[in-house]
Amino acid sequence: MTWNIPDDAFARSVATFEGFCQLLLFQDIVDVSFLVDLSALSLEPEAIELDILYEDDDLLIVNKPSGMVVHPAPGNWTGTLVNAVLHHFGFSSEDVHRLPTACGAGPTPAELRPGIVHRLDVGTTGVIAVAKTVASFSVLSQAFAEREVQKTYLALALGGRKCFLGHPPGGGYVVDKAIARSKSNRRIMGVAETGGRPALSRVRALAKDREKMFVEVKPRTGRTHQIRVHLASEHTPILGDETYGWQHINRRADVQRPMLHAYELSLNHPSTGETMTFRGSMEPFRCFGALVSAAAYAASGARVNGARHSDAVAKSTTRRAAERAPDLGISTEQPSANQVVEVLGQQDLESFPRLQRPFVDRTWLMAKAGNGGNPAPNALRRPHLPKGPGYGGHGGSVILKATTQIESFLDIPQKVTAPHGADGHDTRRGRTGDDLYLQVPLGTIVRERIFSGYTTEEGRRIFLPQFRYQFLRHLDTYVVAKGGIGGIGPKSFKKGDMRRGTPGQRTRLELELRVLNDVALLGLPNAGKTSLLAAMSRAHTRIGPEEFSTTRPHVGVICFRDRVEVRVCDLPGLKHGAHQDKLMGRRILRHTYRSRALAFVVNVARGEKSEEDVLEEVEMLRQEAIQFDPLNAEKPWMVIGTKCDMLHRDPLFHLDSLFYRLRARYEDEIPVVGTSSRFGLGLTRCVRTLRQLVYPDMLEPRYRLGADPILKEHPKVLHLPYEGPLPSLGEYQSPTAGALPAIVQPKKLEP
Ligand SMILES: Nc1nc2c(ncn2[C@@H]2O[C@H](COP(=O)(O)OP(=O)(O)OP(=O)(O)O)[C@@H](O)[C@H]2O)c(=O)[nH]1
Ligand SMILES: [Mg+2]
């Protein structure tokens, strides 16, 4: 136990316990152990009704109500789950020792925690296991310690992190933040910046209303207050959580406890070894039925238009839940709460539009630098006026600066003008115009549009782009228009002579973005590229049954244990003729320019239809990529077969035949990996193969590299730039045109 002694009294404070006396100095820490007299604190069986979910000779599974403490502890010695369990077993206070207890020391004496193998907070409801025999106690304690027990919690969180949405069952957004006790308030926990105990939770949203989200959390570790702290750290605190939550909303909602419910516990039976799953009731969530009742309506086939759920997301969830309910045999008028969760939990991969901000990857820009200011005219010069002449200030330059903070040219204006230098005044120099920095995303290519000397029949001038610079590093800068020089006053020259400020440069630019990535996913529309990316990384966007649900590139980063990162780029679907810009194919393929490897994604679940041959599809995709840019022929490549879970459509047969046919055709072993994004199958192998394509010489270490606790900077990412030949600029030529124009040697303007 630790408490703070007021600062002003620190020098005088004396700790006196049981005859021990010590003068305390500033920042001294005193460890105090209270000797609890167990005989005085004997455990008494109490007649408290329990909601028993399961019981046999080894195990008791209870649905704990809210407000019940699990075992006696300082501040709460009676009315606990332990007291109720003792009564349920028919023990008297003398029989208490017949229940197994832990041996090690803990915050409370082990004798007060008989049979308790894990804990729930006071306000948390749901499934809790109690061991009845010494053997089952040790087996269960070990299973909890070794994380073999699967725990599923349901929580009603505030705020709606969209990254929780759209994950398949078993998956979720991983919150991996170490937890430690707060230094200022020892009763609360917090995310530890350094040190702390590792904690990991997997969160996925089951439904979303305007300001609330119904989330499923699967904690892998079991730290104190883990779920509450993790959700709060992701700006989705649990509704009703007084410690970590948003008080103003809690007051409005009039909820007295954190809306956290231990819904499911899956463990191996301590004697038989059989895997058993226990589910608590959903009653705790009945009281604020907004989300649950929406799903309930949906499950019963009712329309939700009249209900409060104007949110497109909630509507779409309920609509799809309604479609799925009959398949699951749920068609009752009033489905039970468990059925509701079952329907929501079966949420398939379809997700909602997000990150569908308009994306601009090519734009024209007119940059005008500031003019130099003019010198002060007729400045009076006398020997007794020694100050310099009133020169004009310099004009500001227009400078492009690369940043990781923006991802497209959406906010780049069509025309930018840097401020002019001010005119000289009296004997002072005019003010120099500030440089204008325009931020561009990483991967931008800058070309200058130069007048060709020709005009079109309508009289419009024809400009030709010439390569100038490309941005590959964060905070890299490039001056595109240099500011004018300020005018020089009469003193520098002969009497009466003076030079005016020069005009700033004016440039017409073309900016093109080719996103930075290591591997590009290429495939037909609906091949499952986005689902695959969402399953492999945290990137998440629209996944849907329609074609072209993805309309722009998305990059997901896969981080390996040794901090190697592989950036995978999900592109919109390609079709035959893409290299001739059919269905915007060239605009899609341009993002393969920076990839170091290509992954062709094909849906291998296609039955016996020979007219849609898998090998032909792979070859078509590769040919399109090569015809667009011959450099793509030199990149290593692999094939990813998706939707392998649809067994009735022979995916494994197609995968197998694909591997041997590719080997026969290319006389080389092209990696072919089968995956199912829906069930998370084959992803590890897929990720490893991707890494091997990109970094063939860097084997993945078996163990995670320890994080350096004092590392303040972002670790140096081992992302090496592509060091191949310079861009082939042919894509602005007609694809049918002949030789490409010679590339003018890039020249960087000096500021
Ligand atoms: N059964 C099953 N269905 C999948 C799997 N992966 C994706 N799907 C479904 O396939 C459809 C298309 O998935 P997307 O990930 O949007 O495919 P895409 O290639 O990104 O499609 P576009 O962006 O439109 O080109 C969706 O309806 C998914 O639910 C899988 O592994 N198994
Ligand atoms: Mg997609």
Helix or strand or coil: residue 622? Answer: helix
Residue 749: is its pLDDT beyond 90? no
CA of 163 to the centre of ligand 1 (A): 18
Residue position matching structure tokens 């009281």: 287
> What is residue 365's predicted lDDT score, i.e. its pLDDT?
95
> What is residue 744's predicted lDDT score, i.e. its pLDDT?
55
| 107 — pLDDT class (breaks 50, 70, 90) | low
Residue position matching structure tokens 């990996």: 673
Give the atom of ligand 1 at the shortest distance from the alpha carbon of 573. Answer: 25
| 338 — pLDDT class (breaks 50, 70, 90) | low
pLDDT mean across residues, the chain: 79
Rg (CA), the chain: 34
641 in Cβ contact with 674 (< 8 Å): yes
Residue 35: is its pLDDT beyond 60? no
> What is residue 263's predicted lDDT score, i.e. its pLDDT?
85
> What is residue 750's predicted lDDT score, i.e. its pLDDT?
58
Pocket of ligand 1 from Cβ distances under 6 Å: 348-350, 523, 525-531, 543-545, 547-550, 572-573, 642-643, 645-646, 676-678
> What is residue 564's predicted lDDT score, i.e. its pLDDT?
85
- Would you give the DSSP letter of residue 739? S
Residue 39: is its pLDDT beyond 60? no
127 in Cβ contact with 284 (< 8 Å): no
User: Alpha carbon 159 to chain centroid distance?
Assistant: 16
> Which pLDDT tens digit goes with each residue over 522-558?
999 999 999 999 889 888 788 878 888 888 999 999 9
Q: Given this structure, which CATH class describes domain 519-694?
A: alpha beta
Residue nearest to ligand 1 atom 23, measured at CA: 550
Residue nearest to ligand 1 atom 30, measured at CA: 643
Best residue among 324, 327, 349 to mutate for probing ligand 1, ranked by most atoms within 8 Å of CB: 349
206 in Cβ contact with 198 (< 8 Å): no
Nearest to 371 by CA among 501, 508, 507, 506: 501
534 in Cβ contact with 543 (< 8 Å): yes
**How far is 565 from 369, CA to CA, in rounded Å?**
39
161 in Cβ contact with 217 (< 8 Å): no
Give the atom of ligand 1 at the shortest distance from the alpha carbon of 349. Answer: 29
Give whichever of 22-36, 38-52, 207-221, 501-515 has the largest mean pLDDT: 501-515
CA of 527 to the centre of ligand 2 (A): 8
Helix or strand or coil: residue 619? Answer: helix
Q: Which CATH number fits domain 362-513: 2.70.210.12, 3.40.50.720, 2.40.30.10, 3.10.105.10?
A: 2.70.210.12
Residues with a known catalytic role = 121
- Would you give the DSSP letter of residue 472? -
Q: Cα-flanking dihedrals φ and ψ of residue 210, to 5°?
A: -50, -60
Q: Which residue has the higher pLDDT, 491 or 48?
A: 48
Nearest to 372 by CA among 426, 417, 425, 433: 433
Residue 346: is its pLDDT beyond 60? no
ipTM for the assembly = 0.99
Ligand with an atom nearest the CA of residue 544 = 1
- Per-domain boundaries in the chain: 147-257, 289-345, 362-513, 519-694
- The correct answer on CATH 3.40.50.300 for the domain covering 147-257 is no
Residue 726: is its pLDDT beyond 80? no
> Which pLDDT tens digit goes with each residue over 283-331?
655 544 444 554 444 333 333 333 333 344 455 555 666 666 667 666 5
**CA separation (Å) from 548 to 360, 545, 587?**
17, 9, 14
**DSSP letters of 668-679?**
S---EEE-BTTT
> What is residue 542's predicted lDDT score, i.e. its pLDDT?
80
Residue nearest to ligand 1 atom 4, measured at CA: 643
CA of 733 to the centre of ligand 1 (A): 34
Residue 397: is its pLDDT beyond 50? yes
In three-state form (DSSP H/G/I as H, E/B as E, the rest C), the secondary structure along 250-271 is HHHHCCCCCCEEEEEEEEECCC
> What is residue 91's predicted lDDT score, i.e. its pLDDT?
79
Residue 100: is its pLDDT beyond 70? yes
125 in Cβ contact with 64 (< 8 Å): yes
Give the atom of ligand 1 at the shortest distance from the alpha carbon of 545. Answer: 27
> What is residue 728's predicted lDDT score, i.e. its pLDDT?
42
Helix or strand or coil: residue 59? Answer: strand
Q: How many residues can be counted in the chain?
A: 751
Give the atom of ligand 1 at the shortest distance from the alpha carbon of 531. Answer: 15
Percent of the chain with pLDDT over 70: 71
| 716 — pLDDT class (breaks 50, 70, 90) | very low
> Which pLDDT tens digit goes with each residue over 350-364?
555 444 568 899 999
| 436 — pLDDT class (breaks 50, 70, 90) | very high
**How far is 280 from 561, CA to CA, in rounded Å?**
37
**How far is 252 from 262, CA to CA, in rounded Å?**
25
CA of 543 to the centre of ligand 1 (A): 6
Query: Which residues fall within 8 angstroms of residue 463, CB to CB, at 6 or more apart?
Result: 449, 450, 451, 452, 508
Q: Which residue has the higher pLDDT, 500 or 389?
A: 500
> Which pLDDT tens digit goes with each residue over 212-222?
777 889 998 88
